[in-house]
């Protein structure tokens, strides 16, 4: 039995009043014997109920009248006594409502306020990140690093080098395509240990018959990468060329 269920179904109040079904009572007792919070609420509710019963037995529900009441002026029994009784009933009702609010409503309201505050914080953080990204994208970039990839079958051949300065935002790859009837290509970029970090689908030739791709510099760390170019259309997918790219960040 979880706390949201206990609060929503007023399990503690029904337990004290002996209004729970046998299985509900057993489940709740298994819970609150190990839950200090619920155990304290049960004890407080039982003490509050006992206090109300004691006050009622010694005050508002007492039928005995002393001789002083019998000798009092008639207006006391006809006006003052009902007024005092009504005021006492109102005070008792107010005390019951305050206790119910303290033990049952306040934890629920506090939980809702905490959740609302967490949601608001998350929204503010997301908005700040979006604004930062928009400002970052709106900035013009000069001297964008450009690498013209050259394919090779020799594993000992030096890789294509790209040097990314600390303020570089993108790396542009220029790939000359061999003559073919392919209309769409796929580009896959993986680390030296074959961990795929980027896949670009449905790439088209530019006006010069080449593929041009811009990659975020932040996703490229210093090291060796493998760039695989495949023909995507017409199917089936077949490998066209493979390139080795070395990233250097001073």
What pLDDT does residue 180 have?
64
Q: What is the mean pLDDT of residues 194-218?
A: 91
CA distance 222 to 172: 16
What pLDDT does residue 140 have?
67
What are the pLDDT digits (tens) for 21-46?
888 888 888 887 788 888 888 888 87
Nearest Cα neighbor of 25 from 44, 9, 45, 4 is 9
Strand order in the sheet with 160-163: 160-163, 238-248, 223-233, 184-191, 196-203
CA distance 63 to 73: 19
Compute the CA torsion angle 62, 63, 64, 68 (nearest 10 deg).
100
Q: Which pTM value belongs to this model?
A: 0.45
What pLDDT does residue 85 have?
52
Of 133-137, 168-172, 212-216, the poorest mean pLDDT is in 133-137
Question: What separation in angstroms does the CA of 232 have from each of 50, 93, 103, 107, 229?
Answer: 79, 77, 65, 59, 9
Tokens of 19: 């209004």
Tokens 């080795």 correspond to 244
Nearest Cα neighbor of 198 from 169, 175, 226, 176 is 226
Q: What is the CA radius of gyration of the chain?
A: 39
**Alpha carbon 196 to chain centroid, angstroms:** 28
Question: What separation in angstroms does the CA of 162 have from each of 147, 188, 210, 214?
Answer: 6, 17, 19, 13
Of 96-100, 165-169, 228-232, the poorest mean pLDDT is in 96-100
Peptide bond preceding 66 in cis form (omega within 30 of 0): no
What are the pLDDT digits (tens) for 162-180?
999 988 889 999 998 876 6
CA distance 236 to 184: 12
């Amino acid at each position: 039995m979880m706390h949201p269920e206990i609060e929503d179904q007023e399990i503690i109040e029904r337990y004290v009043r002996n209004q729970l079904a046998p299985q509900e009572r057993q489940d709740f007792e298994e819970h609150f014997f190990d839950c200090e919070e619920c155990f304290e609420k049960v004890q407080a509710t039982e003490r509050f109920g006992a206090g109300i019963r004691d006050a009622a037995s010694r005050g508002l529900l007492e039928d005995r009248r002393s001789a002083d009441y019998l000798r009092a002026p008639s207006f006391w029994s006809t006006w003052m006594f009902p007024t005092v009784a009504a005021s006492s009933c109102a005070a008792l009702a107010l005390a019951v409502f305050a206790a119910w609010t303290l033990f049952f409503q306040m934890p629920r309201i506090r939980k809702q306020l905490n959740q609302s505050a967490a949601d608001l914080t998350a929204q503010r953080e997301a908005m700040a990140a979006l604004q930062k990204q928009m400002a970052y994208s709106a900035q013009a970039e000069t001297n964008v690093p450009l690498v013209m990839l050259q394919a090779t079958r020799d594993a000992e051949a030096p890789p294509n080098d790209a040097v990314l300065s600390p303020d570089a935002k993108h790396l542009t790859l220029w790939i000359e395509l061999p003559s073919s009837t392919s209309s769409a290509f796929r580009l896959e970029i993986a680390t030296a240990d074959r961990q795929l970090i980027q896949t670009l689908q449905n790439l088209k030739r530019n006006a010069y018959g080449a593929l041009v791709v811009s990659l975020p510099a932040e996703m490229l760390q210093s090291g060796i990468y493998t760039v695989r170019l495949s023909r995507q259309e017409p199917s089936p997918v077949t490998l066209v060329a493979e390139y080795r790219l070395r990233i250097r960040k001073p």
